[in-house]
C-alpha cells in the first residue's frame, strides 16, 4: 500500500472554514471561564470566511486547477461557487447578530453550524465524485436542519425543522439510490469516468440505459429537493417561514448555490449522453416551478412566505439556464446565483430589521407606510423588490436576461416565453410590496406603533439620526441593550452591502460576467 | 450446495421480514428485525464481504435494534395512541405492493440483462477489512474525512437541540 500524494491546496478554502468552525466552538466553550465576550464569535466567523475567500481568490488567480486525487477540485468554476457561498455566509453572519442573542444562548453552536454547513456547500461545488456530493449534501443539510429549529421558544421553528428533516432525509434516500443506479449503469461514481463510460457505450445495452434513466431521475429528485424545485418544493414555505429569519436568508441563497453547483457539474460533465432526455425533463420542471411559485406567491399575506414562494420561482428561472446544457447556460446560472445573493439576502435582511422582538415574521400590514418611518430601509427594500422582479437597472434584470438568452441560443423559445410571462406575473407581488411601503399610510394601530417605537432607536442611531430621544431610555432599560445596538448596526451594514451589490453589479455587469464565463469555459469547454 | 445454502438463508430472511410486519407487539417486531439483519449478515459473508457482514451485526443488529428496543420500552409495549385508520392502512398496503413489485422487477431485470457493475463485482478479498481500510485511506480519503465532519455536525447539532437553554 502506497500513500498517495495529496494536494492539500485543493481543499484549502474549505479547510479554513472548518478550522474556523472548530475555533468558534472552542472559544464558545472557553468563554465562560476565560471571561471572553461571546460577541467575538461572529467576528471570528467573519474573519475565517474572509480568509477562506482570500484563499479562493488566490487559488483562482494562480490559474492552475488543484486536484484532490479524483475526488474534489479547486478550479475556476468551483472557486466561483465557493466565493458565492462565502459571501452569503458572511452576510448570514451579519444578519444573525441581530437575532441570535434573542433566541438562544448557544451562539457558538449557531455560528459553528453555519460555518460547517458553508463548508459542506463549498464541497458541493468542488466535488468530482458522487460520493463527495452526497457527503457534502448531508453535511450542509444536517447543519441546516438544526439551524432551522434553533428558535426553541417557538413551536413553528421546531415544526419547520422536523418537516425539513423528514422530507430531507427522504430526498437523501432518493439521491443515494440514484447514485447506486448510476453506478450500476457505469461501474463508477467518478463524474469523468461516468461521462467516459457513457460516451463509449450509451445505448449499447438496454439495461444500461434503463438503470441510467432511473438513476438520473433520482439524482434529479435529490437536487430538485435542495433547490426547491416543484414538485419537490412542499417543504419550502413552512421551513422558510418557521426558521429564524437569518437562517432563512442564508439557506435560501447558499443551499441553492451549492446544489446548483453540484447539479450542473454532474449533469453537464457526467451525463451529457442523456442530455436530450434531461433537457426536456428540466424544461418541464422549470415551467412548473416558475408558474407554481409565482401563482402561490401572489396570495401570501406573510412576507417570509411570499419570499419563500418567490425563491421557488427563482429556482425555476435558474433552471432555465441549465436546460440547454451549454457552458453559456452554466455561466448564466452562476451569474444568476451570484446576483441572487444580493437581492434575496437583502430582502431577508430587511425582514429581519422589521421583525419585532420575539416575533419571527412580518405580515403584509407591518410595512405599510414604511417609507415615512424608515426611508433608508424602504428604499433598500424597493431596490431588492425591483431587482427580484427583474426591472432593468438592477442586477436581477441581467441575471434573467443571461439565463433566458442562453436558453434562446439553443432554441428553447417557448421556455423563454414562459419565463418572461412569469416575470410579468411576479412583478405584481413584488411591486405591491413597494406600493404598500410608499403609497399607503401606516394604519397606526397601537401594536404597530409601539413596535415601531421599540425597534426604532437602534437603527436610527446606526444611521446617524438620533432624533427620537424619547424612546431611548426604554431601550436602555433592557439588559441586552448593547447587543441590540451592535446587531442593528451590523444589520444596516448587511442591508447596505446587499443594496450596493444589487445596484453596482447591475450597472457594471461586464467584469463579473467575464470572470464567470472565463472560469466556466475553462472547466466545461467552449 | 451454494444454492441450497442461499435458499435456506433467503427463507430465513423473508421469515424475519414478515415477522416485523405481522407481529402484533412492537417488541416481537424488533426481534424479528434482528433475525432479518443477522441473516443478511450471513448473506454478505457468502458474497465475500466480511467487513460489511461484521458492520451489519455491530451497527444494525447491535446498535440500531437495541435503540429500537429502548424506545419501545420507554414508550410502552403496545401503542394505544396509534390507531391506524383503515383507509390509511389500505393506502399504505397498495403503496408497499407497488414499491415491492417495482423492486422485484428491477432485480429480475438486472439478473436477466446483467449490469456492468454486477459483472465486475464480487472479487474474492475485495470485501476484507484490509482491502476496505486501504481503499478508505487511499482512494476514498476525502469521503472518509468528510464523513468525520458529518459526524461532528451531527454531534454539535444534537447537543444544540437537546441542551437546556438556561443561563
- CATH class in words for B2-127: mainly alpha
Instruction: Quickly count: other Cβ atoms within 10 Å of residue A424's Cβ.
Output: 11
The whole-number pLDDT of residue B71 equals 86
Rounded to the nearest angstrom, the minimum Cα separation between B139 and chain A is 7
Would the CB atoms of A69 and B147 count as touching at under 8 Å? no
Q: State mean pLDDT over A199-225.
A: 78
The whole-number pLDDT of residue A358 equals 57
Chain-centroid distance, C-alpha A24: 22
The whole-number pLDDT of residue A139 equals 95
Residue A468 lies in a domain: no
Pair type for strands A72-74 and A66-68: antiparallel
Looking at beta carbons, which residues of chain B come within 8 Å of A132?
Answer: 142-143, 146
**DSSP labels, A40-101:** HHHHHHHHHHHHHHHHHHHHHHH-S-EEETTTEEE-HHHHHHHHHHHHHHHHHHHHHHHHHH
Looking at beta carbons, which residues of chain A come within 8 Å of B134?
Answer: 1
Q: State mean pLDDT over B30-57.
A: 89
Nearest chain B residue to A70 by CA distance is B139
Q: State mean pLDDT over B68-83.
A: 72
Looking at beta carbons, which residues of chain A come within 8 Å of B137?
Answer: 1, 3
Residue A154 lies in a domain: yes
Chain-centroid distance, C-alpha A187: 33
**What is the SS3 string spanning B66-95?**
HHHHHHHHHHCCCCCCCCCCHHHHHHHHHH
Residue A414 lies in a domain: yes
Mutation target to probe the B interface, by most B beta carbons within 10 A, among A19, A22, A25, A109 is A109
Exposed / middle / buried, residue A223 (Cβ in 10 Å: 0-12, 13-18, 19+) = buried
Q: Count how many domains chain A has.
A: 1
The whole-number pLDDT of residue A375 equals 85
A65 and A39 in contact (C-beta within 8 Å)? no
Least confident among A260-264, A292-296, A445-449: A445-449
The whole-number pLDDT of residue A207 equals 57
Rounded to the nearest angstrom, the minimum Cα separation between B152 and chain A is 9
- Please say if the pLDDT value at position B90 is more than 90: no
Instruction: Quickly count: other Cβ atoms within 10 Å of residue B83's Cβ.
Output: 7
Residue A460 lies in a domain: no
The answer to whether the bond into A76 is cis (omega within 30° of 0) is: no
HSE on the CB side for A236, CA within 13 Å?
Answer: 32
For A184, the closest of B117, B134, B161 (CB atoms) is: B117
Structure confidence at residue A501 as a pLDDT band (50, 70, 90): very high
Looking at beta carbons, which residues of chain B come within 8 Å of A25?
Answer: 156
The whole-number pLDDT of residue A104 equals 80
Retrieve residue A116's grid coordinates. 460547517
Angle, to 10 degrees, between the axis of helix A413-439 and the axis of helix A375-389? 160
Would the CB atoms of B142 and A72 count as touching at under 8 Å? yes
Rounded to the nearest angstrom, the minimum Cα separation between B75 and chain A is 20
Residues of the domain holding A336: 8-453+473-524
Would the CB atoms of B142 and A69 count as touching at under 8 Å? yes
How many whole angstroms separate alpha carbon A329 and alpha carbon A308?
25
The whole-number pLDDT of residue A460 equals 39
The whole-number pLDDT of residue A164 equals 94
| Exposure string for A354-364, b = 16+ CB within 10 A, e = fewer | bbbeeebbbbe
For B134, the closest of A1, A132, A136 (CB atoms) is: A1
Looking at beta carbons, which residues of chain A come within 8 Å of B118?
Answer: 184
For A109, the closest of B110, B116, B159 (CB atoms) is: B159
Query: Which is higher by pLDDT, B131 or A407?
Result: A407
The whole-number pLDDT of residue A454 equals 43
> If we measure between CA atoms, which residue out of A272, A222, A264, A229 comes closest to residue A80?
A264
Residue A220 lies in a domain: yes
Looking at beta carbons, which residues of chain A come within 8 Å of B165?
Answer: 104-106, 152
Of A352-366, A420-434, B93-107, which one has max mean pLDDT? A420-434
Rounded to the nearest angstrom, the minimum Cα separation between A387 and chain B is 35
Structure confidence at residue A77 as a pLDDT band (50, 70, 90): very high
- pLDDT (tens digit per residue) in A108-121: 899 999 999 999 99
**Measured between alpha carbons, how far apart are the two ends of chain B, in Å?**
67
Would the CB atoms of A116 and B149 count as touching at under 8 Å? yes
Looking at beta carbons, which residues of chain B come within 8 Å of A206?
Answer: 113
> If we measure between CA atoms, which residue out of A254, A201, A306, A308 comes closest to residue A83?
A254
Looking at beta carbons, which residues of chain A come within 8 Å of B109?
Answer: 207, 210
> If we measure between CA atoms, which residue out of B39, B3, B4, B5 comes closest to residue B19?
B39
Would the CB atoms of B149 and A18 count as touching at under 8 Å? yes
The whole-number pLDDT of residue A524 equals 85
Q: State mean pLDDT over A304-328.
A: 92
What DSSP designation does A302 have?
B
Structure confidence at residue A205 as a pLDDT band (50, 70, 90): low
For B113, the closest of A142, A150, A207 (CB atoms) is: A207
For A187, the closest of B116, B146, B166 (CB atoms) is: B116
For A138, the closest of B113, B117, B150 (CB atoms) is: B150
Residue A125 lies in a domain: yes
A356 and A454 in contact (C-beta within 8 Å)? yes
Looking at beta carbons, which residues of chain B come within 8 Å of A1?
Answer: 134, 137-138
Residue A2 lies in a domain: no
Mutation target to probe the B interface, by most B beta carbons within 10 A, among A187, A258, A480 is A187
Mutation target to probe the B interface, by most B beta carbons within 10 A, among A19, A38, A114, A152 is A152
Amino acid at each position: 500500500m502506497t500513500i498517495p500524494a495529496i494536494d492539500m491546496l485543493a481543499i484549502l478554502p474549505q479547510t479554513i472554514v472548518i478550522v474556523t468552525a472548530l475555533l468558534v466552538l472552542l472559544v464558545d466553550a472557553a468563554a465562560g471561564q476565560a471571561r471572553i465576550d461571546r460577541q467575538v464569535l461572529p467576528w471570528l466567523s467573519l474573519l475565517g470566511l474572509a480568509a477562506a475567500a482570500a484563499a479562493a481568490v488566490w487559488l483562482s488567480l494562480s490559474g492552475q486547477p488543484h486536484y484532490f486525487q479524483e475526488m474534489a477540485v479547486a478550479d475556476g468554476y468551483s472557486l466561483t461557487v465557493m466565493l458565492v457561498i462565502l459571501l452569503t455566509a458572511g452576510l448570514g453572519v451579519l444578519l444573525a447578530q441581530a437575532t441570535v442573542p434573542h433566541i438562544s444562548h448557544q451562539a457558538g453552536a449557531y455560528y459553528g453550524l453555519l460555518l460547517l454547513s458553508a463548508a459542506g456547500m463549498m464541497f458541493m461545488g468542488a466535488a468530482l465524485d458522487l460520493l463527495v456530493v452526497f457527503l457534502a449534501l448531508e453535511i450542509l443539510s444536517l447543519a441546516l436542519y438544526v439551524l432551522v429549529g434553533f428558535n426553541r421558544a417557538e413551536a413553528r421553528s421546531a415544526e419547520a425543522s422536523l418537516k425539513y428533516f423528514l422530507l430531507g432525509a427522504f430526498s437523501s434516500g432518493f439521491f443515494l439510490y440514484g447514485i447506486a443506479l448510476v453506478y450500476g449503469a457505469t461501474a463508477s461514481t467518478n463524474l469523468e469516468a461516468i461521462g467516459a463510460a457513457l460516451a463509449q457505450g450509451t445505448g449499447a445495452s438496454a439495461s444500461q440505459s434503463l438503470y441510467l434513466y432511473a438513476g438520473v431521475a433520482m439524482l434529479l429528485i435529490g437536487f430538485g429537493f435542495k433547490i426547491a424545485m416543484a414538485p419537490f418544493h412542499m417543504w419550502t414555505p413552512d421551513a422558510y417561514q418557521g426558521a429564524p429569519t437569518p437562517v432563512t436568508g442564508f439557506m435560501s441563497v447558499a443551499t441553492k448555490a451549492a446544489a446548483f453547483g453540484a447539479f450542473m457539474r454532474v449533469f453537464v460533465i457526467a451525463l451529457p449522453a442523456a442530455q436530450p432526455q434531461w433537457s426536456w425533463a428540466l424544461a418541464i420542471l422549470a415551467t412548473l416551478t416558475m408558474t407554481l411559485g409565482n401563482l402561490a406567491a401572489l396570495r401570501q399575506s406573510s412576507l417570509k412566505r411570499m419570499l419563500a414562494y418567490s425563491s421557488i420561482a427563482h429556482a425555476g428561472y435558474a433552471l432555465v439556464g441549465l436546460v440547454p446544457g451549454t457552458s453559456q447556460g452554466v455561466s448564466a446560472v452562476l451569474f444568476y446565483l451570484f446576483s441572487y445573493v444580493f437581492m434575496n439576502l437583502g430582502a431577508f435582511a430587511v425582514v429581519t430589521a422589521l421583525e419585532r422582538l420575539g416575533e419571527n415574521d412580518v405580515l403584509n400590514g407591518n410595512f405599510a407606510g414604511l417609507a415615512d418611518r424608515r426611508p433608508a430601509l424602504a428604499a433598500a427594500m424597493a431596490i431588492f423588490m425591483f431587482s427580484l422582479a427583474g426591472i432593468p437597472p438592477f442586477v436581477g434584470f441581467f441575471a434573467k436576461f443571461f439565463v433566458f438568452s442562453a436558453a434562446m441560443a439553443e432554441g428553447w423559445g417557448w421556455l423563454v416565453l414562459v419565463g418572461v410571462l412569469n416575470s410579468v406575473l411576479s412583478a405584481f407581488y413584488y411591486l405591491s410590496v413597494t406600493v404598500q411601503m410608499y403609497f399607503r399610510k401606516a394604519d397606526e394601530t397601537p401594536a404597530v406603533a409601539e413596535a415601531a417605537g421599540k425597534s426604532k432607536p437602534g437603527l436610527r442611531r446606526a444611521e446617524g439620526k438620533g432624533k427620537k430621544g424619547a424612546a431611548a431610555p426604554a431601550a436602555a432599560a433592557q439588559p441586552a441593550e448593547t447587543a441590540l445596538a451592535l446587531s442593528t448596526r451590523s444589520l444596516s451594514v448587511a442591508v447596505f452591502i446587499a443594496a450596493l451589490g444589487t445596484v453596482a453589479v447591475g450597472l457594471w455587469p461586464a467584469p463579473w460576467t467575464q470572470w464567470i464565463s472565463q472560469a466556466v469555459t475553462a472547466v466545461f469547454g467552449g | 450446495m451454494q444454492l441450497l445454502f442461499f435458499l435456506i438463508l433467503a427463507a430465513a430472511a423473508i421469515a424475519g421480514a414478515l415477522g416485523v410486519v405481522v407481529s402484533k407487539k412492537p417488541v416481537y417486531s424488533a426481534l424479528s428485525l434482528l433475525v432479518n439483519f443477522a441473516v443478511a449478515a450471513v448473506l454478505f459473508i457468502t458474497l465475500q464481504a466480511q467487513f460489511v457482514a461484521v458492520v451489519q451485526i455491530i451497527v444494525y443488529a447491535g446498535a440500531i435494534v437495541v435503540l429500537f428496543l429502548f424506545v419501545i420500552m420507554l414508550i410502552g409495549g403496545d401503542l394505544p395512541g396509534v390507531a391506524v385508520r383503515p383507509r390509511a392502512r389500505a393506502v399504505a398496503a397498495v403503496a408497499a405492493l407497488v414499491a415491492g413489485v417495482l423492486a422485484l422487477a428491477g432485480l429480475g431485470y438486472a439478473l436477466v440483462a446483467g449490469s456492468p457493475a454486477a459483472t465486475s463485482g464480487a472479487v474474492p478479498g475485495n470485501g476484507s477489512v484490509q482491502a476496505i481500510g486501504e481503499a478508505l485511506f487511499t482512494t476514498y480519503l476525502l469521503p472518509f474525512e468528510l464523513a468525520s465532519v458529518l459526524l461532528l455536525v451531527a454531534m454539535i447539532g444534537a447537543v444544540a437541540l437537546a441542551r437546556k437553554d438556561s443561563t
